[in-house]
Chain A
Amino acid sequence: MKKEGFFNIVGGDFSRSGEASTQLKQILHSMGINNDTIRRASISTFEAEMNVIIYTPAGMLKYEIDDDIIKIIVQDMGPGIEDIDLAMKEGYSTAPDWVREMGWGAGMGLPNMKKNSDEFKIDSVPGEGTTVEMIIYPKKGRE
């Protein structure tokens, strides 16, 4: 069974943050995907969603789910990332204080996406936006 779709993400909307990721999580559950895989997919998606909310005006989360592959693409219209290697470093962050006071901006977002996906690609053009592509191969079995 294959499922695909997308969610729009509105930047700055902290009250609805996580909405797209939790909906995706439900879809994965309904398809009977392995729990550990769902957790990994949800964590990577949530971090990507939060980045769109924190740093950009808007973005889109696209997903393609099949029995043997989960593909998540998050594309935004944000400021882009100047130095991707630096941004991938654990603890590196350009977040302003108010973001830290909301519990985010600790410089773990991109490392977390990479850690929880099997394949991770990031492409960014300063002034235009960033696209993150994450692929997760589901484990077999329910647990």
Chain B
Amino acid sequence: MKISEVISKLQLTAYTRMPGGEELINNVYVSDLLSDVMANAHEKGIWITLQTHINVVAVAAMKNIPAVIIVNGRKPDDDTLKKATDEGVAILGTDMHAFEAAGILYNMLNG
């Protein structure tokens, strides 16, 4: 599944430019605890979270996570977007809750 397909299926807002839109992803991680993501998320996946602050980008970059979906209509902080652009991490957004976004992605990956 390409990140660009995820964006169109979930109708996500792209807060950053998408250099890696054609990149393939095959796993998803849902978490709002940075330590949990550091310890358990897989590389090359999509991370769904409510967190909007700059450390999200640092964790994503360290874990080789190309795209983060911020749920519940939260808006990323300005410094988060700046760092995301520098690090090449895509920041996406939706009004959906994490449960629903995860559910739709699950159906896409397993349907």
A interface vs B, CB < 8 Å?
90-91, 93, 97, 100-101, 103, 106
Per-residue CB contact flags for chain B residues 23-35 toward chain A (1 = under 8 Å, else 0) read 0000000001111
10 A-B pairs with CB atoms under 8 Å apart are A91-B52, A91-B74, A93-B53, A97-B55, A100-B34, A101-B34, A101-B35, A103-B33, A106-B32, A106-B51
Residue ID in chain A nearest B74 by CB atoms: A91
Q: A97-B55, A100-B51, A106-B50 are in contact. Are A91 and B34 (CB under 8 A)?
A: no
* Closest Cβ–Cβ distance, residue B72 to chain A (whole Å): 9
Contact (Cβ within 8 A) A100 B33:
yes
User: Does B75 count as interface, using CB distance less than 8 angstroms?
Assistant: yes
Residues of B within 8 A of A91 (CB): 52, 74-75
Give the docked Cα–Cα distance between A103 and B34 (Å): 11
B interface vs A, CB < 8 Å?
32-35, 50-53, 55, 74-75
Residue ID in chain B nearest A93 by CB atoms: B53
Residues of B within 8 A of A97 (CB): 34, 55
Residues of B within 8 A of A100 (CB): 32-34, 51
4 additional contacts, CB 8 Å, given A93-B53, A101-B35?
A91-B74, A91-B75, A100-B33, A101-B34
Give the docked Cα–Cα distance between A97 and B35 (Å): 10
Residue ID in chain A nearest B50 by CB atoms: A106
In the A-B complex, the 9 residue pairs with the closest CB atoms: A91-B74, A101-B33, A101-B35, A91-B52, A106-B50, A97-B55, A97-B34, A91-B75, A101-B34
Give the docked Cα–Cα distance between A66 and B50 (Å): 38
* Closest Cβ–Cβ distance, residue A137 to chain B (whole Å): 28
Give the docked Cα–Cα distance between A101 and B35 (Å): 7
Give the docked Cα–Cα distance between A100 and B75 (Å): 17
Residue ID in chain B nearest A98 by CB atoms: B35
* Closest Cβ–Cβ distance, residue B83 to chain A (whole Å): 16
Residue ID in chain B nearest A89 by CB atoms: B75
* Closest Cβ–Cβ distance, residue B13 to chain A (whole Å): 15
* Closest Cβ–Cβ distance, residue A110 to chain B (whole Å): 16
Question: Which has the most chain A C-beta neighbours within 10 Å: B34, B35, B53?
Answer: B53
Residue ID in chain A nearest B70 by CB atoms: A91
Residues of A within 8 A of B32 (CB): 100, 103, 106
Give the docked Cα–Cα distance between A101 and B36 (Å): 9
* Closest Cβ–Cβ distance, residue A114 to chain B (whole Å): 17
